[in-house]
């Protein structure tokens, strides 16, 4: 399977950074990019741990579902203005 061009972190960052106001201070832009990459690092760490052969596919799917639910919950908090 060929890797799609949009399957890079920098491509996802360039899409995400469009939400940052153009007149945002440099420190806001830097901290936002750092937070974005920290989030990527966190999920990559989880995925690499799930690659351990000692973890079953079922257990791995449970971890991913838990992550999905956490993101959905956080999104709801953002929509309510609570996060």
Query: Which pLDDT does position 3 carry in this prediction?
Result: 65
Query: Which pLDDT does position 1 carry in this prediction?
Result: 62
Rounded-to-integer distance, Cα 8 and Cα 18, Å: 16
Q: Spell out the per-residue pLDDT of the chain, length 83, in tens.
A: 666 777 899 999 999 999 999 999 999 999 999 999 999 999 999 999 999 999 999 999 999 999 999 999 999 999 999 99
Pick the closest to residue 16 from 4, 34, 41 (CA basis).
34
Tens digits of per-residue pLDDT, 50-72?
999 999 999 999 999 999 999 99
Using CB atoms within 10 Å of the CB of residue 67, give its burial: 0 to 12 exposed, 13 to 18 middle, 19+ buried: middle
């Amino acid at each position: 399977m060929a890797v799609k061009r949009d399957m890079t972190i920098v491509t996802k960052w360039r899409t995400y950074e469009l939400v940052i106001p153009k007149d945002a201070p440099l420190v806001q832009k830097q901290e936002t990019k750092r937070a974005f990459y920290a989030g990527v690092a966190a999920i990559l760490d989880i995925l690499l741990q799930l690659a351990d052969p000692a973890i079953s596919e079922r257990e791995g799917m449970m971890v991913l579902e838990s992550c999905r639910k956490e993101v959905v919950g956080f999104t709801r908090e953002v929509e309510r203005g609570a996060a």
